[in-house]
Chains A and B, each alone.
Chain A
Amino acid sequence: MSETIDLKLHVWRQSGPKDKGAFADYSKHAKGISTHASFLEMLDVVNERLVAEGEAPIAFDHDCREGICGMCGAVINGVPHGHRKQTTTCQLHMREFQNNAEVYVEPFRAGSFPIIQDLVVDRSSFDTIIQAGGYVSVRTGSAPDANEIPIPKQISDRAMDAAQCIGCGACVAACPNASASLFLSAKLAHLNLLPQGQPERYRRTRQMVLAHDQAGFGGCTNHRECEAACPKGISTDFIARMNRDVLVASLTDKDGELI
């Protein structure tokens, strides 16, 4: 493969939430891109060229650039984080693209993720969901010895599978209903699987599901686009698990007694 490529690059520009926004053609700025560069490094190069012409750089969120903070995210040729499986935008590398490829870059789109500028969206509704119950109520200093409650390895591993979610929002952007069920169910499964999460299990489930719905996210109708888009490969099995917990929660009162 050649060491550099040219792209036919189209990037969504939108100056603010009220602006209508449109694609801008940056093909002229996206020439001679190293195939070893990451997607965000490609945008850096384009931005440096734009700035040299006195134009405002494309705004995009990013921080760790190693696929863990969940801050980056763009829809690349129709797919959140691009077509490479289990890869965040920052970890996508240009060797995945052909010379002269058409590349369309736009923000994660969902009613609950209002656009702030260009590719930057407001995902604070995810924090609201966590605040509704995504924790174990344990005050600092009141914890028993860490080995007091053994946890079967397979349970702990399963909880870890769920806990890997980086909260990027790709699942929402991928879902035809703009549902955050994959995010929500991963957060629930992480805590609901562990012994430490049991006392608040059904209360947590009820409250977080309610917060999800109130934030305007849609319901899950099993398209499973979310799983395909998830950079951490989180499984939709967790959604099934959540539905069981929701069912039990609906049969119990707030003290956890069956009604």
Chain B
Amino acid sequence: MELESHCPTGDIEKRWENHRFDLKLVNPANKRKFDVIVVGTGLAGASAAATLAELGYNVKAFCYQDSPRRAHSIAAQGGINAAKNYQNDGDSVYRLFYDTVKGGDFRSRESNVYRLAQVSVSIIDQAVSQGVPFAREYGGLLDNRSFGGAQVSRTFYARGQTGQQLLLGAYSALAKMIAAGKVAMYNRHEMLDLIVEDERARGIVTRDLVSGKIEAFTADAVCLCTGGYGNVFYLSTNAKGCNVTGSWRAHKRGAAFANPCYTQIHPTCIPPAGEYQSKLTLMSESLRNDGRVWVPKDPANAAKDPRSLSEKDRDYYLERIYPAFGNLVPRDIASRAAKRMCDDGLGVGPVVGDKRRGVYLDFADAIKREGKARIEEKYGNLFEMYQRITGDDPYETPMRIYPASHYTMGGLWVDYDLMSTIPGMFVLGEANFSDHGANRLGASALMQGLADGYFVISYTLGNYLAKKGKNDVGADSKLAKKAVKEVEKKIADLIEIGQKGSTHPDEFHRRLGTLMYDKCGMGRNAEGLKEALEEIPKLREEFWSDVQIVGSGTELNSLLEKAGRIADFIELAELMCHDALDRDESCGAHFREEHVREDGEAKRDDENFAYVAAWEHTGDHGAPKLHKEPLEFEYVKLSQRSYK
């Protein structure tokens, strides 16, 4: 396996422009002759499918929900970054680039990140033209706010529903192209395999989730836009259906998986309340602009009414430890600090397992300062959501928050053109590893998904097709039929085991999640990772002998869907632990407890670990093989992050 990033060189400001000029073009009449498969219709997939169809390609798009507009992107609350500098507060493309490289703790490619910052401005233009109702000021111009880890206000938002509005915008563009006959949309279809032959992606195999029909679709190129794998932790802020199956099955067909251990834990989620907990709900990070985080100084006060505790009994630990950024420190720092407090027995709320897992996020001062009406205007819907879920009223009593798995920086390895190590298979959005290094800044995922889909793939895909020409393998070819047979057999095997099995798939998922939070979560160490590497194969074996599935493969069958996804999560978990163990340094969200600076922060080892770890699959039980892509920093000087 060769890792060739194809990053342009020279003046960073000119790289994308020069690269675009060097890319081959497909003339408009020929675009009509090419078919492209887009798996996923979140921000990345919907924007890519719509844009490619507008250009003239014939697109087939797939999603597992009943409508493309329900992709998980819809749940993003806080906002989207763009280097517009509308606030005249010193922002620029360079500053967004700089912040993103630094925020990613120097584990991303400068060329990619610079391009992301450059195209960010066009995304806002595009969205506004589609009718995305971003927040505005009274003068009628766009409003901005600042978001975790940034000292400028560059975040555009639509109340607490930015992802929804951006997705509805991209979906509307997609709908237009469906109506124009340029996109064939397959809802309730799950991709279960990638068809590869002679070093080229030829198509995919899907299961119709209603009829159970297994079918092959072929095309001249495949774009995977299937989102992140945060659900490996079972409890996460992701939608229940989010899965790694698309990426994982492609990985098994030869796509390298990069930096799987880089997973982000979000500091402001509603804590778990009991065993039945099925997901954790994110409270937008924007709350940290006005809320103050604290715990009681004395564990004996944990169960007391927080309002009864005086100032001297409270520890506003973020303000204390990080006076410059206070409650606005980056996510990983805020998350670890909260976990540390709770590990030390200072947590609040119900006891789950053996500890109270929660810290307060208090708005009393903000309400005093700005008035209830202003706070309601800013966060009304979030407060309502909190109250609906917990039964507590945050205007009256502090919220309780706790970190939860939220975003995955790791993903399939792609080059500068977003192409994986399988020629003809491109990966967009959260599913790839490309732009956020070891830690993603708030409001940058929406930006990246839309950058990939609207403004990058439209150029780079043409280059590939112009060079490679048509794929001559059709859906009725021997190859495609064989691929269908293989998937059918796997499902039949799973059902056969499932009929005798006695453990609900969710039970395996919960056990996997607990293990991963424990050993490969906010803090990791060699000993724990080695233990996990012994436990995961056992869990996998137990799964494959005792998972219970009721019903058949030829109907809507949620147990079968779950089982298939969990099987892949278990395998991914193993790779994550290998990666976390191998990366014997701390960086960004990857916190190895052996590598801590004196001030308690992540201690990078640039001499030995300034690389992308891209893992090759070597067969079902073989050890994964590591390939390294070295990272160089010409513009942003390597320095230790400091938010003190």
Contacts and interface: CB of A to CB of B under 8 A. Distances in A.
A134 interface: yes
Interface in A159-189: 159-160, 163-164, 166-167
Interface stretch (B160-168, B294-302, B571-579): B160-168
B66 A124 contact: yes
Interface residues of A, number: 76
Contacts of A151: 136, 140
Given A36-B273, A71-B70, A117-B555, A163 B133 contact: yes
B274 A138 contact: no
Contacts, number: 215
B370 to A, nearest CB: 19
A68 B74 contact: yes
B218 interface: no
Interface stretch (B47-55, B478-486, B529-537): B47-55
Interface stretch (A56-64, A99-107, A217-225, A248-256): A56-64
A135 interface: yes
B208 to A, nearest CB: 12
Contact of B129 (A37, A52, A138): A138
A40 B278 contact: yes
Contacts of B173: 135, 138, 140
Contacts of A138: 126, 129-130, 173
B175 A130 contact: yes
B3 interface: no
Nearest to A42: B276
A123 interface: yes
A54 B550 contact: yes
B13 interface: no
B239 A141 contact: no
B138 interface: yes
Interface in A109-129: 116-117, 120, 122-124, 126-127
A115 B69 CA distance: 20
A16 B510 CA distance: 31
Contacts of B142: 146-147
A41 B280 CA distance: 12
B241 interface: yes
B161 A68 contact: yes
Most buried by A among B128, B210, B274, B385: B128
B239 A147 contact: no
A64 B161 contact: no
A191 interface: yes
A61 B556 CA distance: 11
Contacts of A159: 131, 133
A131 B178 contact: yes
Nearest to B137: A153
A139 B54 contact: yes
Interface in B324-376: none
B133 A57 contact: no
A41 B454 contact: no
Contacts of A89: none
Given A37-B276, A54-B550, A69-B70, A134 B175 contact: yes
A57 B136 contact: no
Given A63-B72, A120-B556, A140-B126, A56 B550 contact: yes
Interface stretch (A5-13, A43-51, A237-245): A43-51
B458 A140 contact: yes
Nearest to B135: A156
B194 to A, nearest CB: 24
Given A63-B240, A152-B140, 14 more contacts: A34-B274, A38-B278, A55-B550, A65-B278, A69-B70, A124-B187, A135-B173, A136-B172, A143-B128, A143-B129, A145-B125, A146-B128, A147-B142, A153-B137
Interface of A: 16, 34, 36-38, 40-41, 44-45, 48, 51-52, 54-57, 59, 61-71, 84, 87, 91, 93, 95, 116-117, 120, 122-124, 126-127, 130-132, 134-147, 149-153, 156-157, 159-160, 163-164, 166-167, 190-191, 194, 196-197
7 contacts: A63-B72, A64-B75, A65-B240, A71-B70, A146-B127, A159-B133, A197-B131
Would you list the 3 A-B pairs with minimal beta carbon distance, nearest first? Answer: A150-B140, A135-B172, A143-B129
